[in-house]
Structures are given as structure tokens and as C-alpha cells.
Amino acid sequence: MKEVLRSLFVYTLILFFVFNFFSKSLILPESSSYLILTVLILSFTVMISCPLLEFLTIKCNFLTFFLMTTLLLVGIVHLLKLFMVGFYIESYMFEGLNIGELQISEFEVTPIISIVFFSVLSSLLCSIYRVLDSSK
């Protein structure tokens, strides 16, 4: 039970951290009950990834956990967009970036791009945490 609560707490913090990167496009519910429910659903999605892999008789390592969590989060975030009250995903214009020789022009970030990048970044951070936590 202690392990489950610790994982739930850490995955919730990771998801809030990633939500801050996507604050222009991913709009969380203002109601505290819907906000807590949204984050708990996403955290439980990350937590169920490894048991789902074991059910499919796939070893749960960094790569498989990362891929399964990414796929599950893409689906769940899309379902939350459709059914969760107050959870919106909006498109916005990326203003561009100029770092020395690297120049990225402005472009429109669509909701599906936001969902995929949110899922990939969340999965990457959760996978890194899982690997580092299990190596003690």
C-alpha cells in the first residue's frame, strides 16, 4: 500500500509538472473535484501500464513502459477531452524560436500535437522515475 501511494503521489507531481509546459493548450478544470479526478485518472493510467504489460506477457522495462504509457495516455487524454467537464485542449500559435544557427518558424499547435507531446513527455519522465526508483 505504501508503494502504491508513493507512486500515485510521484506520478501526480510529474503530471502537474508536465501540465505547466502545456499550459497554453491543455486547460485543466477549475472545479477542484474535477481537477483531482482528472489528475487521478491520468496517474492511475500510468500506474496500470506495467500490470497491463505483464498481462500481455511482455516484460516491463524502460522501453516497453514508455511505449505503453504513451499509448494509454494519448487515449485517455483524448477521452478526457471529450467527456471531462472543464478539461479543454485548444490550438495556439507557437511564436517561433531563434537560438544561434537554429531557427524554428512560427506554426499552429493543434490539439492532437499537444496530446501527443504531453503524453510522450509525461511517459518519458515517469519511465525515468520508475527505472531510477527500482535501481535502489
pLDDT tens per residue across span 88-108: 999 888 888 788 888 888 888
| Of residues 58, 89, 52, the one with CA closest to residue 71 | 52
Domain count of the fold of the chain: 1
Q: Which three cell numbers stand for residue 72?
A: 494509454
**DSSP character for 59?**
-
- Cα 80 from Cα 87, distance rounded (Å): 7
- Region of residue 108 (left: phi > 0; alpha: psi -120 to 50; beta: else): beta
Domain residues for the domain of 57 are: 2-134
**Enclosing H/E stretch for 70:** helix 62-83
In this prediction the pTM is 0.88
Q: What is the pLDDT of residue 136?
A: 54
Q: If you average pLDDT over each of 13-17, 66-70, 131-135, which comes out highest?
A: 66-70
Q: What is residue 62's three-state secondary structure?
A: helix
